[in-house]
Amino acid sequence: MTSPGIVAQGVRRSFGEIQAVRSVTLQAHAGRVTGLVGPNGSGKTTLLLMLASLLAPDAGSIRIEGVDPVTDPHAARALIGWMPDALGAWGSLTSRETLVVTGQLYGMPKPVAAARAEALLAEVGLTGLADSAAKVLSRGQKQRLGLARALVHEPRVLLLDEPASGLDPQARIDLRVLLRRFAAEGRTVLVSSHILSELEEVVDDAVFLLEGETVDTRRVEAAARRARPWRVRIAGAEASAAAPQIAEALGSVARVDRRDVIVDFESDEAAARALHALVSAGLAVAEFAAAQGSLEHTFLDLGKGVPPAAPPDAAPPGALPPTTLPEASADRPDADEEVAP
């Protein structure tokens, strides 16, 4: 296993009477992309702000490649690339000026910062808008500029809050490729997104938050193992006509969802056996696929709020294989996100 670039242990944070983060313990490893998933209000953004050294935890400890962001925030910020869910200040600066100024704040001579800005503008597809004021950029363009700003100083640890929000399909593909490249370079990437399909395609591990707490490993694994729906379509047959044939061939319940028939299977192996049974029964299977990704399935199952309690000897919560849910946006009081080096 690679070394952890991010370690949080028993982290808590309240705002008055509101307990935004109750108890979070997690690890995110170098060379891997870790997804942070959970419903609205689960504490994701508050946690990211603490990891980025912009909020101090009330209790618990955080280490960024061994550095404590509370006692040594400047050293931590030199390691961190922080992309908030909104671009933030400096709306009157152009895209190029935003990146040059950021580079200078991190101690780069202006010519070096300017060269770095040009390279990043090209990398995120903003060269044509280099001289446009940030305030006139679209939501997706601001997201690209926010990502470029997080990368100015070539950080070892990336904290990305909703990076795909507002991006068009091609830009989302480009983002996935970029994140996988960062992981291949040995960086630690922690990304929060409510777009589960995007997370599904890019993450190596997932950490789930519910009501400000990391969900225990055993509980997540139990949710991931529960039956999930698969879509089945028979060539030349309407779903209403195909459902009885499928149910008879499988000896199980089949229900209609628009043009597809839905059948629940406990595992991929059970689904594979069912496909064999359908073909053996002479049915012309035109489509057979999981109706939910593993992250979405686990997320929705955890959201029911009734998974079995973890055994007393359950492993501590932490990074898990991607089998879970997304989150949506802000769960903290608004805080502008500028990170000074």
DSSP string computed for 214-247: EPPHHHHHHHHHS-EEEEEEETT--HHHHHHHHH
Q: Answer yes or no: do 232 and 192 share one domain.
A: no
Average pLDDT of the segment spanning 116-132? 96
Residues 9, 68: contact at Cβ < 8 Å? no
- Asked whether the predicted pLDDT for residue 306 surpasses 60, the reply is no
Instruction: Report d(CA 262, CA 197) in Å as an integer.
Output: 20
Supply the CATH number for residue 242's domain.
Answer: 3.30.70
Q: Answer yes or no: do 150 and 256 share one domain.
A: no
In this predicted structure, what is the pLDDT of residue 121? Answer: 97
CB contact set of 52 (below 8 Å; sequence gap of 6+): 69, 77, 80, 82, 159, 337, 339
Q: Which residue has the tokens 């939501």?
A: 139
pLDDT in tens, 78-123: 999 999 988 876 888 999 999 999 999 999 999 999 999 999 999 9
Residues 137, 90: contact at Cβ < 8 Å? no
Q: Residue 129 in 3-state DSSP? A: helix
Instruction: Report d(CA 170, CA 338) in Å as an integer.
Output: 28
Average pLDDT of the segment spanning 217-234? 79
Question: Count of domains in the chain?
Answer: 2
Q: Answer yes or no: do 133 and 37 share one domain.
A: yes
∠144-198-226 over CA atoms, to 5°?
155
Is the pTM here over 0.75, yes or no?
Answer: yes
**DSSP state, 127?**
G
Question: How buried is 180 (Cβ within 10 angstroms: 0-12 exposed, 13-18 middle, 19+ buried)?
Answer: middle
* pLDDT greater at residue 115 or residue 205: 115
* Residue 78 CB coordination number (10 Å): 16
**Structure tokens belonging to residue 53:** 């050294």
Domain of residue 241 covers 227-291
- Asked whether the predicted pLDDT for residue 224 surpasses 80, the reply is no
Q: Answer yes or no: do 24 and 173 share one domain.
A: yes
Residues present in the chain in total: 341
Q: Answer yes or no: do 105 and 182 share one domain.
A: yes
Q: Which residue has the tokens 């280099």?
A: 130
pLDDT in tens, 150-174: 999 999 999 999 898 888 888 888 9
Phi and psi angles of residue 232, each rounded to the nearest 5 degrees, phi first: -130, 130
